Amino acid sequence: MSSFKDILKNQLNIKNSELLPSGYQQIGDICIINLNKELLRYKKQIGKIILQNFKFKTILSKKSGITGRKRLPRLEIIAGDKDTETIHNEAGIKYKFDPRKIMFSKGNVNERHRIAKLVKKGEIIVDMFAGIGYFTIPIAKEDKAKTIYACEINPISYKYLNENIRLNKINKEKIQIFNADCRKVISKLKKQNVKADRILMGLLPSPRKYLKYAKRIAKKGTVIHYEAINESPEKLIKEIRAEFPNVRILKTVKVKSYRPRVWHFTVDAKI
């Protein structure tokens, strides 16, 4: 069976075929490829070849990563259906979203489900950066948390968060979602005397400036899952201890490579 690269090479008559992508990322029925800038003149042809040989509705090409506070992907349609909304299935969870409007990393799948499995019966969870439900949905599916407070500032992500709650048949009585800055939500929760058993801080490159807000709803025994980009977890632990001096580090996880010698880490810390 021919490889992805061989299929492109055999059907695309170009001299610099060694620059062709050797693989792709599949999100639902969407194919995402990363093209060398020297191949951009052939992008329409490459997209057409992929459509003819694989079962995708749309082919997207990466432009240049993620931009802005709301973490917007930069992807261009090079072939196929212009409707890029899709449903991606991952370990029993369905995520509906548009990859041109919402970031989604398949490389975080183990981390999403690792954290969901850690939740104990009756816990109160605060997801400060819920997105489309990356962590909120798996935790809710486990059905152990008493209440999940999910904050999402991006209205598009918030819309899909609502849809994914319905799509995955989540018990709505156990989850409260807010289309607002988590800092405002935390101020409301503090007034209601809500204390979290577990706080999710999944914001890249770093949620450091939000630690003081997490502190407002933390108590003795609260577990914080702190995600950030750095060269080493020790630097992240130092950031956490600047706000929580007596914190106990439970675990550090190297989620995936971000760039050479820089990693996406999660630090599990208990107050």
SS3 per-residue string spanning the chain: CCCHHHHHHHHCCCCCHHHCCCCCEEECCEEEECCCHHHHHHHHHHHHHHHHHCCCCEEEEEEEEEECCCCEEEEEEEEECCCCCEEEEECCEEEEECCCCCCCCHHHHHHHHHHHHHCCCCCEEEECCCCCCCCHHHHHHHCCCCEEEEECCCHHHHHHHHHHHHHCCCCHHHEEEECCCHHHHHHHHHHCCCCCCEEEEECCCCCHHHHHHHHHHCCCCCEEEEEEEECCHHHHHHHHHHHCCCCEEEEEEEEEEEECCEEEEEEEEEC
The model's pLDDT over 43-70, given as tens digits with 9 standing for 90+, comes to 999 999 999 999 999 999 987 554 444 4
pLDDT of residue 69: 47
Q: Among 3.30.360.10, 3.40.50.150, 3.40.50.2000, 3.30.110.40, name the CATH number for the domain at 108-270.
A: 3.40.50.150
Mean pLDDT over residues 178-195, rounded? Answer: 97
Q: What is the mean pLDDT of the chain?
A: 93
pLDDT of residue 74: 85
Of the candidate ranges 62-76, 174-188, 205-219, the one whose mean pLDDT is the lowest? 62-76
Of the candidate ranges 53-67, 154-168, 184-198, 245-259, the one whose mean pLDDT is the lowest? 53-67
Between residues 91 and 126, which one has the greater pLDDT? 126
pLDDT of residue 13: 82
Q: Among 3.40.50.620, 3.40.50.12280, 3.40.47.10, 3.30.300.110, name the CATH number for the domain at 4-84.
A: 3.30.300.110
pLDDT of residue 91: 87
Mean pLDDT over residues 203-211, rounded? Answer: 95
Q: Does the reported pTM lie above 0.75?
A: yes
Same fold, 4-84 and 108-270: no
The model's pLDDT over 231-246, given as tens digits with 9 standing for 90+, comes to 999 999 999 999 999 9
Of the candidate ranges 106-110, 126-130, 183-187, 267-271, the one whose mean pLDDT is the lowest? 106-110
- What band does 268 get if pLDDT is binned at 50, 70 and 90? very high
Domain boundaries in the chain? 4-84, 108-270
